Structure 1
Amino acid sequence: MMRRGDDRAVTVQIGAVLLLAILMTALAMYQLNVVPAENQQVEYDHNQQIQNELQELRNGLVNTAERENGFHSSAVTLGTRYPTRTFTMNPSNPSGTLGTSKTGSISFENIGDDDIVGSYDGNPGDLIDEDHETRTILYEPSYNEYTQPPVTRIEHGFAFNEFDGTGVGLTSQPVVDGTDLTIIQVDGDLSTSSSSAVSVDVRLESGPTDPIMIESNGDEEIEIPTQTPDAWNKSIDESNVTIGDYSEERGTLSIELDEDEKYELRMACVVVDGTGDRCGDFDITKETGETPGDGNGTVLPGPRVTELELDPDSVTQGDNVEIDAAFSNLGTTHEQRGGTPIVDAEWIIEKDDPELGDGEDLEPATGNEFSERVEEAEGTIETENLDPGEYNVSVRAQDTRGVWTNESADGLMKTFTVEEDDGDDDPARFQVEITDTNSPINSGETFEVDATVSNVGDEDGTQDIVLEIDGEQEDVAEDIEIDANNEEDLTLQWQTESGDAGENIDAVVSSDDDSEVLDITIEDDVGDPSFGVTDIEPADDVQEFTFTANNLGNADTVTIDISDAENGVEYGDELEIYELEEQDIDTLEYQDGSITFTPQGNPNEDTLTIAISIEERIEFDSYTVGYIDETGRAASDSFDVIESDVPDFATLEATANDNWFFVTFTNSVEFNYEIAELETFEEVEFVVSDGDGTEVDSVTSDDTTGEVSAEFDPQTDPVTAEATIRSTAGNRCLETDIDIGETVTLDDWEELEQCD
């Protein structure tokens, strides 16, 4: 019997394929529609976050410009990360670019010395006459799904978003506030792109000026550079000024001052990750009298509290609370203040209410004492004797007039909480304190940082202690074990290389719980000049000075000090430099005990030799020569002026001849000689004298060997012959008597003690 075929398995396979197709289609639709929408939301949320961070950077910039020795550091998250996906894919993570771009120059039009009211230390007129180049801080995101995000700008302390030329303010602008005019010049060369967070430092380079009073006649203007005039038109209140025209050519917006209005102008320059080379000199202070008032018998207020922070704001009984505070005794047009330096500061707990001057001392954040009109202070609240609960803390300061902060008008108050100790042991917590470094060092040297790590917890613990340089780990002390309430000292190192040189390099020592950062400096290693000077031998007519030209730049002057050597050597004026190819020489001279050499161009680390001529050796001794160049390298070397033996005769014969020439008699002495020790020899002279010592003839030769003849009257008999060797090492003289017809040899000559 035949059986019919069974196709049930085929049905199952077809169903599985259809189910897989449906699943893949759904996954594709999810990838196509849901993933971009979710990623767009991630990007939008990041854009809102960075706008808040840029507002904080802007606030730090404005606050820095208002404080002497101002500094602010902000973290800005330039990009973000998409959530991890199992079955779908993300594009590359979004990033962003933060940098400074040239905006233009701030200028003042038609404001002269006649418009400036008051007396000042410094010349505000010169400051206003100058143009001040400033820069914009600019953030541009690079998103994948959020297609038209704004570009965020910070111009002159004003943060706003730009959408195709339209500006939407994020903060108020500080340039015009009623009749207060604030100009913040921004300098620096910031340029960074990343998908993570970066640190941006803002520091005060110059200023702030005291308020400069300007009385307007109606034609005065301030021109500020901007790429987005729409943002400024919307943000400036025209109650006391008028917004003028925008110049497309110059990229500047004019702010016109109202006629018969008095304004107070303040200026400062801040630097964003740069050197501040473009900053103006804003050192303008208003001259003040001795009376601490406003001229009408009213005492002006004392210092204002500008900042108060408690860290932490909640502690267990027995732990400490750290106080950071800032004060300013600078006034404004609408709020005059004492303007004298701050000399004292203190903190108080509200319910204690001590008398002025009886609070707990605050210490200067920098230096040993308060002495400026703007000061930062710090202190510590010990809670061991405080009951659990909330406490209000305020701070106050006193200026040189004896006037304290008016706490009701100018004070700040912060609250902290003391919690009862529940008796449980705190886990190990490692606090880090940098105690010493060897900064500054040269590139190529090893940077060392000493740190003390304290375990402030109640349990023993083990952690790694890490050294990071500008965010990169360079060293780690692994498995540092510290018992509870104990500490350990350690040293971390970073081997620097060529190219690591720079200032304000962040060195961070951190544990799992704490970190401390320190700015360090790595300087360019200019290297050893390898300076050397040759000894002066008896036969030398030049002396040589050799050094390397490593890091010697165009027009860097080298000075070789030979003033000490002049005691033993008389130098000539002939100079020569060699072992230097294709090198133009701007200066090579010897004067007043120094040889100076100034190149034009980089000698590319060649070894250079300078030679100077020698006229005479004076004293046989050791002498020191110094070297210094404009790279800061210095060295010295010693040399010897070497004494040599005076040449002598190897052979010497003299024969007195009786010569008959027809009717004339002429006698002569024939000298036959050879000189030994030739290196300092110059010449030999033979002199013949009669019995009375009168010279009758002489002959000189610079040959080291030969025959010469001296003639004399035949009636002179016997005669005296003198032979003199002259040399750079000294002279040698010999003498003998000769009868006519006699020959004397070297043994018959007598050396004289005195020799001319």
Structure 2
Amino acid sequence: MRDGLDFGDDRGVSAVIGFIFIFAILMILLSVNQAQVVPAENEQIEYQHFEDVRNDLVDLRSAISTAGQNDVSQFPTVKLGTAYPPRVLAVNPPPASGTLQTSEAYNITITDETGTTERIPTRFLEYQPGYHEFQSGPTWYENSVLYLDESQRGGIVIIEEQNLVTDDNTVRITALQNDFRRSGTGRVTVELYPTQAGDLSALTGELEIAIPTQLSGDTYWNDAFDDDVTVDPTVTPDWYESGVHALNLTVEKDNLKINTVGIQEEPEAGGVKENVGTGATTPPSQGDQTTYLTNTGDTTIGDGQKTIEFSLRNNGDSPATITQISVDSTTANADSIDNGDGYEFEGAGGNLNTPISIGGPSYSLDESATITDGATETFTLGEFEAKGNMKGESVTLTLYFADGSDQQFTIDIPK
């Protein structure tokens, strides 16, 4: 004490200031770690997954070709997403989930010299990552081509080239069918089952083929074939809908090989694939007779465009019994269809009185509809009243059979 004044002891002030200074540095370091180091490390983890899933998709592409062309079921796997390692002093975002899914169905159209047409539905397959840091567009499979769609950041990156047309001028089409969607971070098994492509025995001579594609001529198809290939591709822009074009090919029937692959969770008793031009005539086993149903193409509109009548023929040697049906539109006008009360599906002893909604729901038949072997039956899709002009459009019917299989038909509405 001096002159009666009492000054406090400040010997601990420097220690407190030092602690605050160290704490501030620590918080800055943690902030930098959270804002820069963690995202950078997570980006590397996501990029590694991007490389891994690309390899998975290459294997999936190969499996689709093997299942279709070699008639052997395949079970490739795809790692949909990835997780981040636990961190004590940092916060991770949620795991990066990915989605593998098919597109809606579009028809491959095959027309011969006489104007006879066969339509076979096919789908694209898309993998969409859900990364938080690494920038990547979706990866698509279509018509044997695997590509990365970076159109938002520069263009298309081809991962695997087409084998649709080979140097011997043979066109090999593998149609991918059935709806499929899986999301998450785990590894999913994609079950691929070869099925019959359809009966093209009535087609003769030179064939005009239109195949759905999202790749334009300038983007890919104009330069996709080798110089010694005489099949000349042309692309009609936006033929199916905006962004879905038609790849047009002309080929002799003997040079066309076509098969289908079903993508689904569990195997179904479907028919084996059939290559056009091989002369294969062996009927399938008893459990596979439903795959011999064909649409005769005789489609009419009645009752003021409120009903559609079409005929199905059973080319097998045993009855085909239909137990369920679903209806969907293959056109962009699906939303213009009146889904009011009174829809009926009738024929061959079956009668569905439940309203049918456009968009894919399926319903049980009140009675099973049976088409005996060798018979042709006429079916009626009733009270199908279009708000817009549906003439010249199409609807896709999926029939579900008593043996557990299913089959799709596209019904063209006459103009």
Band of TM-score, shorter chain: 0.5 to 0.7
* 2: CA distance, partners of 1:135 / 1:280: 19
Q: One-letter code of the match for 2:159?
A: L
CA displacement at 1:181 relative to structure 2? 0.5
For the aligned residue pairs, the C-alpha RMSD in angstroms reads: 3.7
Structure 2 CA distance for partners of 1:235 and 1:167, relative to 1, 3 Å = farther
Tell me the secondary structure at the aligned position of residue 160 of structure 2: coil
CA displacement at 1:30 relative to structure 2? 1.5
**After superposition, what is the alpha-carbon deviation per residue over 1:106-127, rounded to whole angstroms, capped at 9, x for unaligned?**
1124x337xxxxxxxxxxx97x
1:104 aligns to 2:103 (yes or no): no
Corresponding residue for residue 620 of structure 1? none
The counterpart of 2:246, out of the listed 223, 248, 253, is 253
CA displacement at 1:59 relative to structure 2? 0.4
Whichever structure has more strand as a proportion of its residues is 1
1:94 aligns to 2:63 (yes or no): no
CA displacement at 1:268 relative to structure 2? 0.7
* 2: CA distance, partners of 1:32 / 1:214: 66
CA displacement at 1:282 relative to structure 2? 3.3
* 2: CA distance, partners of 1:279 / 1:164: 39
* 2: CA distance, partners of 1:106 / 1:98: 23
The counterpart of 2:224, out of the listed 235, 249, 252, is 235
* 2: CA distance, partners of 1:212 / 1:104: 22
Structure 2 CA distance for partners of 1:107 and 1:287, relative to 1, 3 Å = closer
The counterpart of 1:170, out of the listed 144, 159, 162, is 159
Corresponding residue for residue 209 of structure 2? 222
**After superposition, what is the alpha-carbon deviation per residue over 1:392-413, rounded to whole angstroms, capped at 9, x for unaligned?**
xxxxxxxxxxxxxxxxxxxxxx
**After superposition, what is the alpha-carbon deviation per residue over 1:340-372, rounded to whole angstroms, capped at 9, x for unaligned?**
xxxxxxxxxxxxxxxxxxxxxxxxxxxxxxxxx
Contact 2:194 2:272 in 1 (8 A): no
1:133 aligns to 2:136 (yes or no): no
Identical counterparts, % of pairs? 28
**After superposition, what is the alpha-carbon deviation per residue over 1:375-426, rounded to whole angstroms, capped at 9, x for unaligned?**
xxxxxxxxxxxxxxxxxxxxxxxxxxxxxxxxxxxxxxxxxxxxxxxxxxxx
* 1: CA distance, partners of 2:202 / 2:118: 15
* 1: CA distance, partners of 2:367 / 2:47: 55
1:49-448 matched pairs, under 5 angstroms: 49-68=52-71, 70-109=72-111, 111-112=112-113, 129-146=117-134, 148-164=135-151, 166-178=155-167, 179-206=169-196, 221-229=208-216, 230-237=219-226, 239-250=229-240, 251-257=244-250, 264-273=255-264, 282=274, 284=276, 286-287=278-279
* 2: CA distance, partners of 1:64 / 1:209: 19
Contact 2:213 2:247 in 1 (8 A): no
CA displacement at 1:19 relative to structure 2? 0.7
* 2: CA distance, partners of 1:234 / 1:188: 31
Tell me the secondary structure at the aligned position of residue 25 of structure 1: helix
Structure 2 CA distance for partners of 1:156 and 1:44, relative to 1, 3 Å = same
Tell me the secondary structure at the aligned position of residue 241 of structure 1: coil
Structure 2 CA distance for partners of 1:262 and 1:556, relative to 1, 3 Å = closer
Contact 1:40 1:145 in 2 (8 A): yes
Contact 1:241 1:255 in 2 (8 A): no
Structure 2 CA distance for partners of 1:240 and 1:61, relative to 1, 3 Å = same
Structure 2 CA distance for partners of 1:65 and 1:199, relative to 1, 3 Å = same
**After superposition, what is the alpha-carbon deviation per residue over 1:529-586, rounded to whole angstroms, capped at 9, x for unaligned?**
xxxxxxxxxxxxxxxxxxxxxxxx76338xxxxxxxxxxxxxxxxxxxxxxxxxxxxx
Q: One-letter code of the match for 1:144?
A: H
* 2: CA distance, partners of 1:45 / 1:13: 46
Higher radius of gyration, 1 or 2: 1
* 2: CA distance, partners of 1:17 / 1:159: 57
Contact 1:204 1:271 in 2 (8 A): yes
* 1: CA distance, partners of 2:129 / 2:221: 23
* 2: CA distance, partners of 1:23 / 1:32: 14
CA displacement at 1:180 relative to structure 2? 1.4
CA displacement at 1:29 relative to structure 2? 1.4
TM-score, normalised with respect to structure 2? 0.58
CA displacement at 1:279 relative to structure 2? 8.8
1:520-559 matched pairs, under 5 angstroms: 555-556=366-367
* 2: CA distance, partners of 1:158 / 1:91: 34
Structure 2 CA distance for partners of 1:287 and 1:13, relative to 1, 3 Å = closer
1:26-65 matched pairs, under 5 angstroms: 26-65=29-68
* 2: CA distance, partners of 1:210 / 1:18: 81
Whichever structure has more helix as a proportion of its residues is 2
Tell me the secondary structure at the aligned position of residue 26 of structure 2: helix
Tell me the secondary structure at the aligned position of residue 103 of structure 2: strand
Q: One-letter code of the match for 1:52?
A: N
**After superposition, what is the alpha-carbon deviation per residue over 1:667-703, rounded to whole angstroms, capped at 9, x for unaligned?**
xxxxxxxxxxxxxxxxxxxxxxxxxxxxxxxxxxxxx
Structure 2 CA distance for partners of 1:285 and 1:279, relative to 1, 3 Å = same
* 1: CA distance, partners of 2:232 / 2:90: 57
* 2: CA distance, partners of 1:244 / 1:34: 50
* 1: CA distance, partners of 2:86 / 2:165: 48
Structure 2 CA distance for partners of 1:204 and 1:106, relative to 1, 3 Å = same
Contact 1:207 1:282 in 2 (8 A): yes
CA displacement at 1:225 relative to structure 2? 0.3
CA displacement at 1:79 relative to structure 2? 0.5
CA displacement at 1:56 relative to structure 2? 0.3
Count residues with an aligned counterpart. Answer: 275
TM-score, normalised with respect to structure 1? 0.33
Corresponding residue for residue 294 of structure 1? none
Contact 1:213 1:263 in 2 (8 A): no
Tell me the secondary structure at the aligned position of residue 90 of structure 2: coil
CA displacement at 1:73 relative to structure 2? 0.6
* 2: CA distance, partners of 1:63 / 1:21: 62
**After superposition, what is the alpha-carbon deviation per residue over 1:498-557, rounded to whole angstroms, capped at 9, x for unaligned?**
xxxxxxxxxxxxxxxxxxxxxxxxxxxxxxxxxxxxxxxxxxxxxxxxxxxxxxx76338
Tell me the secondary structure at the aligned position of residue 8 of structure 1: coil
Structure 2 CA distance for partners of 1:231 and 1:37, relative to 1, 3 Å = farther
* 2: CA distance, partners of 1:211 / 1:150: 41
CA displacement at 1:195 relative to structure 2? 1.4
Structure 2 CA distance for partners of 1:44 and 1:233, relative to 1, 3 Å = farther
Runs (5+) with no aligned partner, structure 2: 281-363, 369-401, 404-415
Contact 1:134 1:186 in 2 (8 A): yes
